[in-house]
Chains A and B, each alone.
Chain A
């Protein structure tokens, strides 16, 4: 996995696949909110983070992303923000650097 678009594809495809299990019939786009649109609750974000780290083969500090939510007017995170954050933390990934 070496490009941001591939990261975006992976995240959106995973969320779309999960959302199909919830009978969510809206589109998953970078503007979709995880909590208010997709109905995330409880440990969903933790499990999603774990799964993405597993797929990417390295830890991503998603806690830092959530830490910024408290300072925002809308205390939620969009799919696009999740993708941006993931991509920004792959900066030191040798596979990405080589791309």
Chain B
């Protein structure tokens, strides 16, 4: 297909967006463009994957594959199956082609902006500026390399605000003082403005048939400001400071709406526009200290003298990543949780741990015993189970990359994340109430679309996040590789359009060359490197 006659598609990702927040904002007039987009197009809930977490979920959206296939489970990755070491997840870990690469193979260029797991930037035919990059290194996330200097010349370009300060980012899950919330929201108002400016520039200066941009602010703001946004939790009599935070949150979404309007106008009236989130959002009201629960149940032992204490304001342990490697007594630990982001439990296999741990012959029995014990753990007051659902690795992550996933994945009753930190006292209850609700991920996100052939004003109950990649390809008139786990949801199109554009399929998607080679980087070295930097105080 010639690029000159190709249809055009704009994918706008809204990290963590939920209709719980967007619907009231549309009704109140704070998001008039989004309301009009829904009126002139279709909307649906968008079911995320397990776990509903940013890196695996966006990778699923862009590849149409589940983590068991694409290999991304968390911000951090085991360096090998059975290893205790974790390292940063990078683009080299993605084992499946993204829609950008598939579009390239079929002759269309693509632009991908601010998506996670895009460093080192994939060498697609088009443009990439990776998301979740430390700001000092943002240049290294640009493809082609000269793109960065071109963007640097834009008025107001500021890498400090466009990229991330990783120390600040930990606040999204750990929380921050109430006095800092206003500045947090203002920072994200400015950041979305920067990404909108970059996207606007590229849409005009270097238009490509497929443009995808991710606005991560909704997730960051909802984590900390959920109680000011959720209509069910808003303070009835807000203080002046509380009202100020709420007003700023609404201003954030008001400005986001104007960015959406601007980008859609630049994409043109004939462009297909797809808005999607990687997961939804809801309140979390408690903290489950999972490693303390494992300790009290006899599955985990802290190394002598290493039982760590949470510092002030620290709930989940984001700044303590990788320390489990020396915090735990590996001769007396059979199960542990390494990160506070994906609710995954790893079982220590004797074959990977000098004979200490769970023997292969006993693995199935042990895992079932651990699952039963978790299911039977109940709220001492209400009697309600704390763990709402448990997936085994085979249930959650079938596929060739399953061995990199956790042995068990949990959904907690309040939808929250586990803490990897122990309770202050070994005998304390591992379940602790939060002083106030904060935001946490939910499996149901949002989907809206409008464009040529798409029905108008219709609401569909639910689509899968795995459906978005095939839909993007269909909207561009491209063939969909066999093996994608979702389907192009053709019901959102008018029958006459579907008749004119029949679904085409092509051979199964190819593995990226770096994944086939096992990656270029030395995973173990990187894991050790992170640990060394932490020991020296450079990562806290």
Given A21-B152, A22-B136, A43-B539: A59 and B520 interface contact (C-beta under 8 Å): yes
The main secondary structure of chain B at its interface with chain A is: helix
Q: Does chain B have a CB within 8 A of A28? A: no
- A73, chain B: closest CB distance, angstroms: 13
**Are B538 and A40 in contact, CB atoms less than 8 angstroms apart?**
yes
* Total interface residues in chain A, CB < 8 Å: 33
Contact of A26 with B by CB under 8 A: no
Q: A21-B152, A40-B136, A50-B90 are in contact. Are A70 and B522 (CB under 8 A)?
A: no
Shortest Cβ distance from residue B521 to the other chain A in the assembled complex, whole angstroms: 6
Give the docked Cα–Cα distance between A10 and B529 (Å): 22
**Can you name the residue of chain A whose Cβ is closest to the Cβ of B157?**
A21
Q: Is B505 an interface residue (CB 8 A)?
A: no
Closest-CB distance, A23 to chain B (whole angstroms): 10
Whether a CB of chain A sits under 8 angstroms from the CB of B287 is no
Task: Chain B residues near A53: list those with CB within 8 A.
Answer: 520-522
How distant is the Cα of A87 from the Cα of B148 in the complex, in angstroms? Answer: 28
Question: Is there a chain B Cβ closer than 8 Å to A25's Cβ?
Answer: no
Q: Say if the beta carbon of A93 comes within 8 Å of chain B.
A: no
* Contact across chains for A61 and B525 when beta carbons are under 8 A apart: yes
A45 contacts across to B, CB distance below 8 A: 529, 533, 538
A1 within 8 A of B: no
Please name all residues of chain A whose beta carbon is closer than 8 Å to the beta carbon of B138 when the two chains form the complex.
21
CB contacts (< 8 Å) of A40 on chain B: these are 136, 538
How far apart are the CA atoms of A61 and B167 in the complex, in Å?
A: 25
Flag whether B513 is at the interface (Cβ < 8 A): no
Give a binary string over A47-81; 1 marks a CB under 8 Å from any B CB, 0 the rest: 11111011001111111101101100001000000
B139 within 8 A of A: yes
Point out the residue from B148, B167, B525, B538 that lies within 8 Å of A35, measured CB to CB.
B538
| B539: chain A residues within 8 A (beta carbon) | 42-43
B27 to chain A, nearest CB (A): 41
The answer to whether B525 and A64 have CB atoms under 8 Å apart is yes
Q: Which of A3-58 contact B (CB under 8 A)?
A: 17-18, 21-22, 35, 39-51, 53-54, 57-58
Complex interface: chain B residues within 8 A of A54 (CB): 120, 520-521
Contact A44 B139 (CB under 8 A): no
Query: How far apart are the CA atoms of A44 and B137 in the complex, in Å?
Result: 7
Q: How far is the CA of A42 from the CA of B134 in the complex (A)?
A: 8
* Distance in angstroms between the alpha carbons of A39 and B535 in the assembled complex: 17
What 0/1 readout, one digit per residue, does chain B (514-540) give for beta carbons within 8 Å of chain A? 000000111001111111110110110
The 0/1 profile, CB within 8 Å of A marked 1, for residues 494-528 of chain B is 00000000000000000000000000111001111
With known contacts A21-B159, A42-B166, A66-B529, A48–B137 Cβ distance under 8 A: yes
Question: Is A43 touching B532 in the complex (CB atoms < 8 A)?
Answer: no
CA distance A74 to B152 in the complex (A): 35
Contact with A along B415-431 (1 / 0, CB 8 A): 00000000000000000
Please name all residues of chain A whose beta carbon is closer than 8 Å to the beta carbon of B119 when the two chains form the complex.
47, 50
CB distance from A16 to the nearest CB of B (A): 11
**Interface contact B88-A43, CB-CB below 8 Å:** yes
Q: Are B137 and A67 in contact (CB under 8 A)?
A: no
Contact A69 B139 (CB under 8 A): no
Contacting pair B522 A75 (CB below 8 A):
no
The 5 A-B pairs at the shortest CB distance, nearest first, are namely: A59-B522, A63-B528, A63-B529, A66-B532, A42-B166
* New A-B pairs, 11, CB < 8 Å, besides A43-B88, A45-B529, A50-B521: A18-B137, A21-B139, A40-B538, A41-B136, A42-B166, A47-B119, A50-B526, A51-B137, A54-B520, A60-B525, A63-B527
